Structure 1
Amino acid sequence: MLEALNAVDARRWAVLTRTAFAARRAEIDALNVYPVPDGDTGTNLYLTLDAALDAVRVEHERDGLLDSATLEQECTGLARAMLLTARGNSGVILSQLVRGFAEAIAEAGVDEADAHVMADGLRRASDRARQSVTRPVEGTILTVAQAAADAGGYAAERGLVAVAEAALDAASEALAATTSQLEALERAGVVDAGAAGYVLMLEALARVVHQDAAHVGMRMEPFADDPSLRRREEWSPVGRAVDPMGAHGGGPTGEADLTPDGPAYEVMYLLRDSDEERAAQLRATLDELGDSLLVVGGPDLWNVHVHVDDVGAAIEAGLEAGRPYRVRVTHFAEQVAAHRRPATAVAVVACAAGPGLAGVFEEAGAVVVSSGPGRRASAGQMLDAVRASHAASVILLPNDRDTEMAAQAAATAAAQEDIDVHLVRSRTAVQGLAAMAVFDASATAARNATEMSHASAATRHGAVAVASKEALTSAGRCAPGDVLGAVAGDVVVVGSDLATVAGEVLTRLLAGGGELVTLVAGEGAPTGLGETVWESVRRDHRDVDVTVIDGGQPHYPLLVGVE
């Protein structure tokens, strides 16, 4: 057993905590009924710590400290990173708990933290967490952190093992008691979700101290295995209607598991270019606007979290206090409704450049992200759509060559949240339509990804556009107003008539054979353009099936696909 923690031990503690959060995130999400039953506490704890550990690793690699960082550098670096990566109320409080431990170690100025330093860390962690909350409430993580700190302090004279065990035992006992301390928890029959996360963190500490993953003092069974801590089947929180502009509606709606008088939105942002005085004023302003208020950090960076109805006022207050960035707004009603929808095995997220295309993809069952030239979807927008699909596995269709990189970034980010995303490299809308046509909701994600990729790749594509400036193309020089016909992204014909140029493009695409033609008319295209183009080549291709879609996409009067 350890008598003191060094830098390697501290890193192992953090990694074991991340492992525990990853393994138990869904379980902790299910406990989440206070302050808002939005079912994301476990996920936020995991994502906060996971991102922070990655950030510290990158920073240490850059500074040449990967294998030589001191205990203080490890802890201070993680505390700073967690301030930046904190997600949700629980993530911000977790960052302050870690900050408390880091401050105790920094003040001690030691390479190894013994029982007294760790006991001081438990006390500072509890104090930091409590100070971060404008209106502390008992029966939450604050209560459990204080119980752990008190017990750890009493055990300090008996060594590090005693401190870790006493803190864990006291925290576990305090966790069980939270059910009776808050009406929302008692009504649901659960313990506080954030407090459960802190117990996992203390379990990880005890594992490190004992150097034994099978330490008998650990809570090895899931919280939900204890009938007294499982959400009651008859639990049904009060719902309420929420006006998008911030006004409350009348009675329960069944759409949002929210208290009748609680705020409708969660607002989070980081704040730079401020100072302690302005941060204090921001805290006072936000306290009048909403609840669950956290303004933590300093002296050069603050993390702000609040639940409000008036999102604009919360952000404007930040603008008066400094420079807000990484602003994130969550509408609780939408979040809770998403959690309540039954999960599907495989879903499709598709980008669409026009309302007609969006309608086709939606009718086929896809979650649609608006994306097109001049307003292409970001990785964040696609990631939000992946989450909104509420599926374990997702097929992602960018449907545009210039959106592929953002789609890849979204897939990578989703993987970090344990969502299985398969990127189908559909580089045009017609390739995306071909891929969507073979989607089978009853098949596995891997099987769908393979079949949809084959369908996309087998679709030859072309487009018709109107030149906006003089340029030299592969088919010769063009002037503004000329009609350009492209095959596989390369201009092959320059003309003056949309139908004539489109007919030439289709003829070239059909030169290699084809069974199905898809013509997608764009925004402002002449009525009947698709039908006119098909009639011009129909006599030579009577065995080909044709589908004409009013896509509504900008910039391209006609998109052409041949399968």
Structure 2
Amino acid sequence: IKKPAQQQVIAPEMPLSAQARLETEDIEFLYDMEFFINRELGENAGVAFDDEAFRKALSVNGDSIIIIADDEVIKVHVHSKTPGDVLNLALHYGEITQIHILNMREQHRDLLTAGMDIAPSPELFAEIPPEAARSMEEAVLPADEMAPYGFIAVSSGDGIAEIFQSLGVDVVLSGGQTMNPSTEDFVKAVRSIAAEQVFILPNNSNIVLAAEQARELLEDERRITVIPSKTIPQGMAAAFAFQEDESAETNRDQMLEAISRVQSGQVTHAVRDTQYDELDIKAGHYIGIHNSKIVATDETMLQACEGLLKQMMESGDEVVTILEGDEADPEVTAALAAWLEEQYPDAEVEVHLGGQPVYYYLFSVES
């Protein structure tokens, strides 16, 4: 476990990034663009670069704008509705090279088709209430001396953020089902940490892409490793597995192994009637989600929790962690702990206040 030099909890900036949305059709700025402008070539070589004016022009039909400029090259990343307009604007400052354009709606469909661990449709659940956004400019400025390692994790809930901080995470970005950090949020977070090697724990399958984009954008100025944690429990297991005296490669392998041993569960309630596989889900009933699949539903919270844990427990001697949400019932928590002790006497059970919205409980089962 690393000893952090600085700790911050930061909410993502508005508007929400396109890739953070769960519904494919909701991705507004669908073209993910990355390219370089060589300021020494082309008809407009040598033209003075106006960073503010360029950003303003790109923001008319785009978001997630990141510009890294020096005297020779301008590196640009933007999500845009009009890629042609973006390239025409860029030509004012030089010759365009290494153009990469992705259709994020198509990419999102491919992820779903490939069976990536994406949660069921958010229409089924209550929405996470908007949080007050806080700019990364409030972050602690980097120290003069660079530490060997730094950590960024995405979290939802004050208690979970405190747990990540206790595990040595330097920056905790607030995120959730409908409000996730953008690529720019990750870029700013990396730059706020005075560390040579930065590990990122996305803790949500829908955020991995934004983290990877930030890594690519900063590959010339910082070593970044994205650990593809898809849940909060996986992220905690990865952070706990980190050893400061080991190499980056060894730590990466150990963290990947740690997340492979973790099963994740979530308990929330349904906001509409629906049929999911063979489950008949009623509005207002509680539902248990094992990884990305709904496996239990009941009109009582305790029964839904028990049904979910039965699916998650394999040998009965696992380590079970219960993270209480901000609307969890203390009596249900006590009854659930007693049920686990009776049904799985060899299991080690830990209960922590997570404070997460929407999900009454988050469960981690680790072998």
- The structure with the greater share of residues assigned to helix is 1
Shift of 1:56: 3.7
Q: Which residue of 1 aligns with 2:141?
A: 338
Q: Which residue of 1 aligns with 2:328?
A: 525
2:247, 2:163 → 1: CA distance? 23
Q: Deviations over 1:333-384 (max 9, x none)?
A: x68x624353210111111111110011011110211111221111111221
Q: Do the aligned residues in 2 keep the contact of 1:484 with 1:495 (CA within 8 Å)?
A: yes
Q: Do the aligned residues in 2 keep the contact of 1:478 with 1:494 (CA within 8 Å)?
A: yes
Q: Do the aligned residues in 2 keep the contact of 1:475 with 1:493 (CA within 8 Å)?
A: no
* 1:74 to 2:41 alignment: yes
Q: Deviations over 1:374-405 (max 9, x none)?
A: 21111111221122121110111011111111
2:175, 2:354 → 1: CA distance? 13
* 1:422 to 2:212 alignment: no
Work out which of the residue numbers 176, 201, 207 in structure 2 matches 1:372: 176
Work out which of the residue numbers 222, 227, 248 in structure 2 matches 1:445: 248
Q: Do the aligned residues in 1 keep the contact of 2:136 with 2:185 (CA within 8 Å)?
A: no
| Structure whose alpha-carbon radius of gyration is higher | 1
Contiguous gaps of at least 5 residues in structure 1 = 1-52, 58-71, 88-196, 202-297, 303-328
1:543 is matched by which residue type in structure 2?
D
Aligned residues: 260
Alpha carbons of structure 1 residues 81 and 431: separation in structure 2 relative to 1, 3 Å: farther
1:86, 1:339 → 2: CA distance? 28
2:43 is matched by which residue type in structure 1?
T
* 1:55 to 2:36 alignment: yes
Q: Which residue of 2 aligns with 1:547?
A: 350
**SS of residue in 2 equivalent to 1:440:** coil
1:81, 1:403 → 2: CA distance? 36
2:316, 2:53 → 1: CA distance? 55
1:73, 1:510 → 2: CA distance? 62
Q: Give the TM-score normalised by the residue count of structure 1.
A: 0.42
1:390, 1:301 → 2: CA distance? 35
2:256 is matched by which residue type in structure 1?
S
Alpha carbons of structure 1 residues 402 and 81: separation in structure 2 relative to 1, 3 Å: farther
2:358, 2:240 → 1: CA distance? 25
Shift of 1:512: 4.5
- The structure with the greater share of residues assigned to strand is 2
Shift of 1:530: 3.3
1:330, 1:550 → 2: CA distance? 26
Shift of 1:424: 0.8
Alpha carbons of structure 1 residues 301 and 470: separation in structure 2 relative to 1, 3 Å: farther
Alpha carbons of structure 1 residues 77 and 490: separation in structure 2 relative to 1, 3 Å: farther
Over the matched positions of the two proteins, sequence identity in percent amounts to 23
Q: Do the aligned residues in 1 keep the contact of 2:316 with 2:346 (CA within 8 Å)?
A: no
**SS of residue in 2 equivalent to 1:401:** coil
Shift of 1:86: 9.5
1:411, 1:469 → 2: CA distance? 39
**SS of residue in 2 equivalent to 1:435:** helix
2:322, 2:53 → 1: CA distance? 47
**SS of residue in 2 equivalent to 1:349:** strand
Q: Do the aligned residues in 2 keep the contact of 1:347 with 1:441 (CA within 8 Å)?
A: no
Work out which of the residue numbers 249, 257, 262 in structure 2 matches 1:459: 262
**SS of residue in 2 equivalent to 1:547:** strand
2:333, 2:92 → 1: CA distance? 56
Work out which of the residue numbers 354, 363, 367 in structure 2 matches 1:560: 363
Shift of 1:83: 4.1
Q: Which residue of 2 aligns with 1:402?
A: 206
Q: Deviations over 1:43-68 (max 9, x none)?
A: xxxxxxxxxx94347xxxxxxxxxxx
Alpha carbons of structure 1 residues 73 and 301: separation in structure 2 relative to 1, 3 Å: closer
2:331, 2:194 → 1: CA distance? 39
Alpha carbons of structure 1 residues 455 and 80: separation in structure 2 relative to 1, 3 Å: farther
Shift of 1:516: 0.8
**SS of residue in 2 equivalent to 1:415:** coil
* 1:483 to 2:286 alignment: yes
Shift of 1:531: 3.5
2:155, 2:279 → 1: CA distance? 31
Alpha carbons of structure 1 residues 348 and 496: separation in structure 2 relative to 1, 3 Å: same
2:345, 2:258 → 1: CA distance? 23
1:503, 1:546 → 2: CA distance? 14
1:527, 1:405 → 2: CA distance? 36
Q: Do the aligned residues in 2 keep the contact of 1:56 with 1:77 (CA within 8 Å)?
A: no
Q: Which residue of 1 aligns with 2:194?
A: 390
1:536, 1:475 → 2: CA distance? 26
Q: Deviations over 1:158-206 (max 9, x none)?
A: xxxxxxxxxxxxxxxxxxxxxxxxxxxxxxxxxxxxxxx98xx8xxxxx
Shift of 1:472: 1.6
Q: Which runs of 4+ in 1 moved over 6 A?
A: none
Superposition map of 1:42-441 within 5 A: 54-56=35-37, 74-79=41-46, 82-83=49-50, 338-366=141-169, 367-416=171-220, 418-441=221-244
Q: Which residue of 2 aligns with 1:280?
A: none
Q: Which residue of 2 aligns with 1:495?
A: 298
Q: Do the aligned residues in 2 keep the contact of 1:358 with 1:368 (CA within 8 Å)?
A: yes
Shift of 1:77: 4.7
Alpha carbons of structure 1 residues 77 and 549: separation in structure 2 relative to 1, 3 Å: farther
1:526 is matched by which residue type in structure 2?
D
Q: Do the aligned residues in 2 keep the contact of 1:349 with 1:386 (CA within 8 Å)?
A: yes
**SS of residue in 2 equivalent to 1:494:** strand
